[in-house]
Structure 1
Amino acid sequence: MTDWVQEASDWLVDETLRGTRADRLVRGLCEKMAEGGVPLVRVQIACGLLHPLFKAFSICWNRDEGLVRDRFAYSSPTSEAWLVSPLKAVLDPGENPEIRARLKLGEGINQFPVLKEFKERGYTDYYCTRKAFTWPEETALANMDGCIASFATDAPDGFTDRCLATIRRLFPRLAVAMKTLVREGTAQNLASTYLGSQAGERVLNGRIRRGEYDKIQAVVWYSDMRQSTELADRMPPELFIERLNRYFECTAGAVLDHGGEVLRFIGDAVLAIFPINGPGGAERASRMAVAAARDAFRHVERINANLPKEDLVPIRFGLGLHVGDVMFGNIGVPERLEFSVIGACANETARLEDLTKTLDRPVLASDAFANLVDNSDWDPMGSHRLRGVSEPQPIYALVL
């Protein structure tokens, strides 16, 4: 193995440990291979993802056109081009893990339409291969838990044996790097999806011991869907789940759209915070929460105007808003922890939401919260006793 190949291998290791992005790794390696004498014109790498929205991503480097990165959503239709591509063929566990097509000799162009296109572009040779990230290989490939790659050249004589040996030497090292980055991305995606972005970041940074917490200031949001117990009892489970998700898209989606963080889905309730930090402080966080509340109700109105015929009961919910100090950290048992907010402020927010049913106003806020926002948007509702709070509290209702 020549010195530059070893240097390229060492570079891959160092850059992976530094956390270099996948697209930069691919581009850097392609450039090093080209400088080392491998006449690459096009390289494509594709890996599966464990992500709530996307099933895979690909990175395509082209000597003349640069780098393009794509992500493929679960909702994306499977294209005919993919079904008849060599990448799809090499992904089949029952097939050869390599495809070599000397395009200048016409190999593969009748089997794979894309290779005919490559030949027309002037490409002379094509090599495609795969690496599974786990074992057994069949299971890994079926779950797209691995890496597939193609390498093309326009050199007059195609790939020499030495060039192919270099590609075969370096690709497994690139696959290890891609596996490391995919696994790190999976951890971040899952932590953010299931815990929220800030809580997930704290956990990944080592805040995993029971009892560890930070005392933070935040606007607290607690919303709860109406009639859920009754509807869950009489609706088919799949329809009720669809209803829940429509409601969560309206409420939790609005929180996320306006910079808040969803911490928990408690049955059909949403617990979220708008942390108080940065310019604007508490006033800005409160305005964000009000904007999210208005958006949530607008979204629900649109959904209620176009209900599916299987579920014609309009979605309704109540919302409590409060502001204060909360403890943000780990609670539970050592074997099963949850990262959430606890404290009087969080409890009182839930009590405010419960009061929306009694006062027949969908959004109620504490005096502390209402003092941070435009008073013209709020109707005073008098003082009311919240369960667990000794003195009656002034309550305000948002004018929607």
Structure 2
Amino acid sequence: MELATRLDLMNWLVAQGLTGLPETDLIRGFCERCRAGGLDVSRALAFIDTLHPIYEGRGFRWTDTATNERETFEYISSAEGAAAKNWRRSAFHHMLQNGDDELTLDLADGAARQFPQISDLAEKGHRHCVAFVHRFGEAGTLGQMDCFYSYWLTRRAEGFREGQLAALRDLVPLLGLAIKSAQQVDIARTLGRVYLGRDASEQVLRGRISRGVTERIKAVLWFSDLRGSTRISESIGPDEIIPFLNDYAEASIEAIHEVGGDVLKLIGDGVLAIFTGDDMTVARRAALTAEHRFRLNMNALNARRSADGRPVTSAYVGLHIGEVFYGNIGSEDRLDFTVVGPAVNEVSRIASMCNSIDRELLASSEFRSGLDATGRRYLVSTGRYALRGIGRAQDLYTLDPDIAANETVAGSYERYLAS
């Protein structure tokens, strides 16, 4: 590859890394430009560890022929099981163990057979491979993201020429830097969604991080709490407490997210969420739909846990609507992007009343009154109550018992929620 071509490709990588070109486009564009410049790449794979609650990292592929392989893929922890076995048999594990930064392989050579994931590519016409491990410094490491791994193949029988290897040595680190930059943005978004909630994360990433900057919004508020969780936690082993809480948190969060709600806080076994939009009638129905899906999720979850001999429970849900302040609250060193206001206190008190009057769902009169006429018929009064810390008594409503007892009414309610 000529020096001018190499410099052009370097400039392209820097420019696209700064603009945030997606990783698959980076790999594809890089390989196509290499081939146009005389560097006969026939296949490439690059991957990098990340910070994610499920995946250990993400990889990206390119090949010079049509294929059913996905351009991008995620991989789970390589610490145990089949993933650990595959990792230990990889060229990259071999390189790390031996302190190597570069490894060249002839796919026709018996030595390549110790790395099945690479040697198998000989059947597809690839002849030679060069693999790189580019290590990050301590300051550049984020969690397990401490290396950029890549391999490059050619169909040329004689392999990469020395000038082509020199070009790859110059260019691949810049590609790694661009992909690392893209992954750091992805990590920021992932951590924001996981720890702040979807909308709160977007608000923060758009720059709304100044202390005390809030907006007044109207929102449907959800507060849910597990029934008897303290008693259950005291009766099971310490290693079972977190899986227990995780199972039921997933059941609620999945239901809320499916209908467009945002989970703002996990408070022990409690969940605080909001439903917003231009039409509060629609937001109210979304909250009822989420509550219904939460019950279905718990039914399936309880069946699985019972079959495994593990403790099960149900949950209380309170629904309310009101004006809240939404934004940054806290100190200069520790901010929380959440909602505050009397309505937030009120919805938690409504949820806590479920236990006292033996109802799994309670909704405020403000919530019910904003539903359409059909929706109001499905919520029936449980009486008038004075809530702790709330200066006024109010009527609370629950689902009509006929929904649980009568299949016709249950079907009608489900059609209402789906409409």
Same fold (TM over 0.5): yes
Match of 2:332 in 1: 334
1:116 Cα offset (Å): 3.5
The reply on whether 1:110 has 2:108 as its aligned counterpart is: no
Q: Is the 8 A contact 1:133 1:179 kept in 2?
A: no
CA separation of 1:243 and 1:124: change in aligned 2, threshold 3 A: closer
Amino acid at match of 1:96: D
Amino acid at match of 1:135: E
Between structures 1 and 2, the one with greater helix share = 2
Match of 1:155 in 2: 156
Partner SS for 1:143 = coil
Match of 2:389 in 1: 388
Cα displacement string for residues 203-228 of structure 1 (whole angstroms, at most 9, x for unaligned residues): 22222222111212211100111223
Where does 1:1-400 land on structure 2 (aligned, <5 Å)?
Answer: 2-65=3-66, 68-74=71-77, 77-78=82-83, 80-90=85-95, 92-103=96-107, 106=109, 108-135=111-138, 143-277=144-278, 281-307=279-305, 313-373=311-371, 374-399=375-400, 400=404
Count of aligned positions:
393
**In 1, distance between residues paired with 2:143 and 2:299?**
42
Q: Is the 8 A contact 1:132 1:141 kept in 2?
A: no
Partner SS for 1:52 = coil
Cα displacement string for residues 114-169 of structure 1 (whole angstroms, at most 9, x for unaligned residues): 443233322221100111233399xx699352210000001243211111111110
CA separation of 1:259 and 1:172: change in aligned 2, threshold 3 A: same
**In 1, distance between residues paired with 2:224 and 2:282?**
20
CA separation of 1:381 and 1:181: change in aligned 2, threshold 3 A: same
**In 2, distance between residues paired with 1:385 and 1:190?**
40
Q: Is the 8 A contact 1:45 1:58 kept in 2?
A: yes
Cα displacement string for residues 218-248 of structure 1 (whole angstroms, at most 9, x for unaligned residues): 1110011122333334432222222211221
Q: Is the 8 A contact 2:232 2:311 kept in 1?
A: no
Deviates more, 1:20-29 or 1:330-339: 330-339
Amino acid at match of 2:393: P
Q: Is the 8 A contact 1:134 1:146 kept in 2?
A: no
Cα displacement string for residues 301-350 of structure 1 (whole angstroms, at most 9, x for unaligned residues): 23333435887543122110011221111112221111111012211111
Partner SS for 2:71 = strand
CA separation of 1:107 and 1:158: change in aligned 2, threshold 3 A: farther
Structure 1: gaps spanning 5 or more residues: none
Amino acid at match of 1:35: A
Aligned structure 1 segments of 4 or more residues deviating by more than 6 angstroms: none
Amino acid at match of 2:284: S
Structure 2: gaps spanning 5 or more residues: 405-419
Aligned Cα RMSD in Å?
2.4
